[in-house]
Amino acid sequence: MSSPSVEHRQLSRAEPCLAGLTPAAVRQLRVAAHAIRDGAEGTARQALDAVLAMTPEHPEALRLYGILHTRAQRHAEAQAALQRAIAQWPDYALAHSDLGNAQQAAGEMEAAFASWRHACVLAPEAAMPWFNLGRNLQQHGDTDGAIEALQQAHALTPDFLPALILLGDALVHAGRFDDADARYRAALALHPACGDAWRGLANMKTRPLSETDREQLATALRRTDINPPDRIAMGFALGKVCEDQGNHERAFAALNAANAQLRELATWHAGAFHTHVDAMLAASARLPAPADATLGHEVIFIVGLPRSGSTLFEQILAAHPDVEGASELPDLEQVLSEESARRRQPLLQWIGIASADDWQRLGQRYLERTARWRQAKPRHTDKLPSNWLLSGVLAAMLPGARIVDARRDALEAGWSCYKQQFYRLPHFACTLTDIAAYIRDYERVMALWQAADPQRIRIQRYEALLAGPEHEIRALLAFCGLPFDPACLDYHQATRSVRTASAAQVRQPLQRDTARAAHYGTLLDPLRFGLGIPTIK
């Protein structure tokens, strides 16, 4: 028998390895794969053990065991299983790619990227290794590298929707809006009810959707075979196109329906959140004085309500030659989660007993995790809005950090949140009354912390920036301990990657006509009432 071609060998490295298995073993592997997908660990283990009993050390069974352990957050076991698979077949690209996933889950990012890149070398003609590399480069903030890898994946498999969507997202983050539009519309040509494509088009806020878009959305939404995530994303896009066309009642109806469907997936409870906020406030008030008051001086946190100008303020700061804009980082939450796992207690149970040395250790862990953002510049921003709830904790953990509280008119910001689809569920923005409750909790907490330590926390108002840009930018830079640089006045010319829904908005000069709430009249009265604003008569 002749040997397989080079191309065949390359492609097979990125396909499940079934060589040497009996039909019964193949059936068991399929059972295991479905069980892993469905979260049925017991069934998956039983099926994989059966395969390994028939064919010891088979690389595909070991690979699936690695995936199973990764999903259960058993990081050492996951890597051990995948290394055993690779020992049996060193050129198995899928196993190397999955090893990268396991290493990522364990926080070993350099090793993870080495594994993903090696998978691409082993199977350069297969789309999935390139897709996995591009997806993770994008999540890690390397937008240019992500575009290159995702373009490879798309070229190899033009009808692979996830690659098209993620490529569109990466192009948006790079400011290449025409190219992104083309990718999203190519996805819609393949699947007219692709919610992620409509979400991508709608999130380019400065580009109005057309009447043709509205007709296509309306047609797609009449279908009965659309899954809830697609229907929800299209509902938000329909709300945008109706607002773009000045049909505010229809826009409100579309957004109201989409938010109701989103809330059905996971309900946010205002009362429970209020109780949690009070507990965090009480616990944070008892923290020890920091061992090193300068720890964290490299970091500028930007917190607040989503859609309140946080990306704009980050763009201004990132235009400074000493500041890297890192966008919304998960590291602060993850460091605290690591400590909770180590102590086997939730945050609220250990926050009051942690010593100054404990908090210093956690602050150093955060700086270690985020060091890559300070390789080219000495300071970086971290603009995850929900970090406002941890402002008190930061006084002990990273006392040298500065916190910028991005504020916008509460009615405008709250309404803007209602128009934006959020993917982290449950989310407060699915009803107007919940939005108001969230804003009240956020504003009272930040007012307390800012009054107690104004040198550490600055309330930066969006409307003040509009009224006096240079004055506010100079004051913001001074608060952060940065010398004035004129590049910060021309922030919109910066070429950095912007990985939020405001990517298009911050690439244009300040706009003074961004208010939209007045167009909706009494429809927003539940939000006005909750915020203590007079309702419309």
Percentage of the chain beyond pLDDT 70 is 93
Number of other CB atoms surrounding residue 145 within 10 Å: 17
Cα–Cα distance measured from residue 96 to residue 488, given in angstroms and rounded to the nearest whole number: 43
Sequence-separated (6 or more) residues with CB below 8 Å from residue 276: 348
Q: Is residue 26 packed enough to be buried (19+ CB in 10 Å), middle (13-18) or exposed (0-12)? A: middle
Q: Which long-range contacts (CB under 8 A, 24 or more apart) does 451-457 make?
A: 453/395, 456/395, 456/399, 456/401, 456/402, 456/403, 457/391, 457/402, 457/403, 457/405
The string of pLDDT tens digits covering residues 395-404 is 999 999 999 9
Which range, 50-59, 105-114, 491-500, is most confident?
50-59
Mean of pLDDT values over 223-250: 94
Instruction: Give first-to-last CA distance, the chain, whole Å.
Output: 86
> By the 8 A CB rule, do 446 and 455 touch?
no
pLDDT above 90 for 285: no
Q: Which residue has the higher pLDDT, 514 or 355?
A: 355
pLDDT of residue 16: 82
Mean of pLDDT values over 284-294: 93
- pLDDT category at 98 given cuts 50, 70, 90 is very high
- Amino acid in the structure at residue 193: A
Percentage of the chain beyond pLDDT 90 is 81
pLDDT of residue 280: 95
pLDDT above 90 for 139: no
What single-letter DSSP state applies at residue 245? Answer: T
> Rounded to whole angstroms, what are the CA distances from 239 to 214, 285, 410, 418, 513?
9, 42, 21, 10, 19
pLDDT above 80 for 171: yes
The owner of tokens 């107007």 is 432
What single-letter DSSP state applies at residue 208? Answer: P
- Sign of the CA dihedral with 53 first, then 54, 55, and 60 last: negative
> By the 8 A CB rule, do 489 and 473 touch?
yes
Cα–Cα distance measured from residue 70 to residue 74, given in angstroms and rounded to the nearest whole number: 6
pLDDT of residue 19: 86
Residue 317, token pair as written in the block: 């700061």
pLDDT above 70 for 142: yes
The string of pLDDT tens digits covering residues 477-507 is 999 999 999 999 988 776 555 555 555 555 5
The string of pLDDT tens digits covering residues 6-29 is 444 444 666 788 888 999 999 999
pLDDT above 50 for 346: yes
- Amino acid in the structure at residue 92: Y
pLDDT of residue 512: 63
pLDDT of residue 444: 95
Question: From the CA atom positions of the chain, what is the Rg in Å?
Answer: 25
pLDDT of residue 503: 52
- pLDDT category at 508 given cuts 50, 70, 90 is low
pLDDT of residue 296: 97
pLDDT above 90 for 412: yes
pTM: 0.85
- pLDDT category at 449 given cuts 50, 70, 90 is very high
The string of pLDDT tens digits covering residues 298-344 is 999 999 999 898 989 999 999 999 999 999 999 999 999 999 989 99
Q: What's the CA dihedral at 371, 372, 373, 379 to 10 degrees? A: 40
- Amino acid in the structure at residue 430: C
pLDDT above 80 for 191: yes
Looking from the CA of 135 toward its CB, the CA atoms found within 13 Å total 17
Mean of pLDDT values over 77-91: 95
pLDDT of residue 228: 93
**Alpha helix segments (H runs only) across 140-247:** 143-156, 161-173, 177-190, 195-203, 211-221, 228-244
Averaged pLDDT score across all residues of the chain: 91
The candidate with the shortest Cα–Cα distance to 205, out of 429, 416, 449, is 416
Mean of pLDDT values over 78-88: 96
pLDDT of residue 34: 95
pLDDT of residue 8: 40
pLDDT of residue 6: 40
Mean of pLDDT values over 444-462: 94
pLDDT of residue 7: 42
Sequence-separated (6 or more) residues with CB below 8 Å from residue 143: 137, 170, 173, 174, 497, 499
Sequence-separated (6 or more) residues with CB below 8 Å from residue 478: 484
pLDDT of residue 509: 57
Residue 461, token pair as written in the block: 């108002």
pLDDT above 60 for 250: yes
Angle, CA of 175, 178 and 180, to the nearest 5°: 70
**DSSP element (H, E) containing 210:** none
Q: Is the peptide bond before 426 cis (omega within 30 degrees of 0)?
A: yes
Sequence-separated (6 or more) residues with CB below 8 Å from residue 126: 10, 11, 13, 14, 15, 93, 156
Q: Which long-range contacts (CB under 8 A, 24 or more apart) does 464-468 make?
A: 465/309, 465/312, 465/313, 465/510, 466/510, 466/512
pLDDT above 80 for 62: yes
Measured in degrees and rounded to the nearest 5, phi and psi for residue 291 equal -70, -30
User: 107's torsion region: left (phi>0), alpha (psi -120 to 50) or beta?
Assistant: left
Helix/strand/coil for 125: coil
